[in-house]
A and B are shown apart, each in its own frame.
Chain A
Amino acid sequence: MQPENLLLHHTHHCHLSIGCPILDAALGGGIPSNSITELVSESGCGKTQLSLQLLFTAQLPHGLNGSSLYLYSEFPFPYRRFAQLLHSFRSSHPILFANYRDPCDHIFTRDCHTAHHLLDVLLQLESRLKHPKETRLDIKLIVIDSIAALFRSEFENNGADLKKRSALFFKISALLKMYAKRFGIAVVVTNQVVDLVDDSEGVSGVRVGNLEGLWTSGRRVCPALGLSWANCVNSRLFLSRREVIEGVENGLQGDDYGGFVNRRQKRELHVVFAPHLPYSSCEYVIRKEGVFGVDR
């Protein structure tokens, strides 16, 4: 056993670009490899959008330059959205895909139905990672969308089941972290939220990370799967949305518009915790071409 040289580490350590310079800057360069990053949000905030986008950006030659594996547990697979993103990615990188390369050749997908199924898939993955196919790029990104759906049906809310559940969390997480380390893979996991009914009861309201509470659509929520899962990820990002009335933000009264108010969804990405980042937040929008940050 010999210690690793951290100076060499630094040059090898790279980030997976999100495909938008503003969002990349907000995350200190993008999604870090050799690490698990969790995206938490309620449905409709862009978790799947963002993770699909990453499948494409992982192939960029100046980035990770690798294939990606998309493990999904929320059905069906979003084909139509995938096709849209494929089209825009192809047209925005015409040189890269001019002749022979098709971005779809480097995206692998697999459905997972239960947590044990996911574990099996991950265990089988090792031989594939060890013996990469020469014609394809090495797998450099694993996306699990979503981890919560796998665990929500299978386990009951009693002591024995919760214990089994958290043992499985740590097993899956340890496996993912081992692959991440050994093969230089970036792991992205999406997670759902649950409403926080009463924050004085129990420990579900315990503060984790930079934000006092997580608010989305006017509701206070907390990430699903509890505290033990929070110990399994390296970084946690929270996607929120709320309705804002245009103009009020700029200090003008709603009346000045003569009764006409322009409501819109304001979406924000927050760093809940990350070993390499301080708290920050960044507004983003979802367009046909993908997810983009807004510079304010």
Chain B
Amino acid sequence: MEVLRLPLSASQKGKLISAGYTSIASLSSASPSHLALELKVSETEALEILKSVSDGSRLQSTSSSFTIVDGAQSAWDMLQEEETSIHITTSCADLDSILGGGISCKEVTEIGGVPGIGKTQLGIQLAVNVQIPYDYGGVGGKAIYIDTEGSFMVERALQIAEACSADMAEYSRLHHKGPQACEVKTMQPKDFLENIYYFRVCSYTEQIALTNYLDKFITEHKDVKVVIIDSITFHFRQDFDDMALRTRILSGMALNLMKLARKFGLAVVVLNQVTTKYADGQFHLALALGDSWSHSSTNRIILHWNGNERYAYIDKSPSLRSASAPYSVTPKGIRTSDSNNKRIKHV
């Protein structure tokens, strides 16, 4: 038994063995609080035991892992990961360029704007674009679309899928001249629809249940690379007398979504509505759900009108500079704005 060789008191060793911990490996994944509970010792004692275990194992094995806490990563590793991180294109070149290539996987991105600005359109576009295969520079994944408002229209999704499929055919015609052209399979519009897992949610309890269930669902469907919630807001703007409860529920949901994004390396896109906020004697436009919610997303993009053009503005992001870019909504979906003054503005 490995634990007998550890520099621990006899009673501690006895407790460990009677609790079933015989190998060092079994202890390496235990948390101090859990161990304290099982051995009926104080947490500080449990921590000391774990410390001697990790010291012992370090002496034994000369493995190159420098992790202090289990599951931790060094900043160097994270940088490596960041550089290879994948993005889902928005089909608008200007928008992609300010976003550093598109909506990034592993993060929660919130997109807000007034009705009719194109939130749902962007949502459907992302659900289609995530399916673009690797050969075409895409992610080759599937999408989960959670519709709380009933605005997802299959006929529109089909239109966007048709345009995407046509673009792919055009691409393969240009880049794969010759016999290998037929090797790259083009996706049919119907295939796109098949790869969107669509959930229609009719109440906030359903919405909470579904976000809790997503972990299991994605474990069974590992190829899901984007989760779109259109919108997170709708059911939470009804009669909530207890605002503190609402805040708790929402932050629980946000944590859940962030966990999903990290665990499965997928992009979570949360759509939000705009509301009027009274401050300094004037009404302003602000994203709904209040100030505490604004901490919940990693990136925040606000869609707004600028004259006759639609613009996207990066309101919050840990890694991107705040900038705005025009985009347009066409019959084919979200596309680059074709006006002359399409200069990207860095603010």
Contact = CB atoms under 8 A, between A and B. Distances in A.
Interface of A: 1, 3-7, 9-10, 13, 28, 32, 34-36, 159, 166-168, 170-171, 174, 177-178, 180-182, 202-203, 206-210, 212, 226-228, 230-231, 233-234, 236, 272-273, 275-276, 278
Contact of A7 (B155, B193, B239, B285): B193
Contact of A227 (B114, B193, B196, B238): B114
Nearest to B120: A275
A102 B197 CA distance: 43
B156 interface: yes
A170 B238 contact: yes
A157 to B, nearest CB: 12
A28 B115 contact: no
Interface SS of chain B: mixed
A76 B6 CA distance: 90
Contact of A32 (B144, B153, B198, B210): B153
Q: Which of A202, A208, A276 has the most CB of B within 10 A?
A: A276
Interface of B: 114-116, 120-121, 144, 149-158, 190, 193-194, 196-200, 202-203, 209-210, 213, 217, 233-235, 237-240, 273-276, 278, 282-285, 305, 308, 329-331
Contacts of B199: 1, 3-4
Contacts, number: 121
Contacts of B284: 203
Given A174-B202, A174-B238, A10 B209 contact: no
B237 A228 contact: yes
B31 to A, nearest CB: 31
B198 A6 contact: yes
Q: Which of A6, A35, A236 has the most CB of B within 10 A?
A: A6
Given A3-B198, A227-B274, 13 more contacts: A4-B200, A6-B154, A6-B198, A7-B194, A13-B154, A28-B155, A35-B150, A181-B150, A227-B114, A227-B115, A231-B233, A231-B234, A234-B151
A181 B238 contact: no
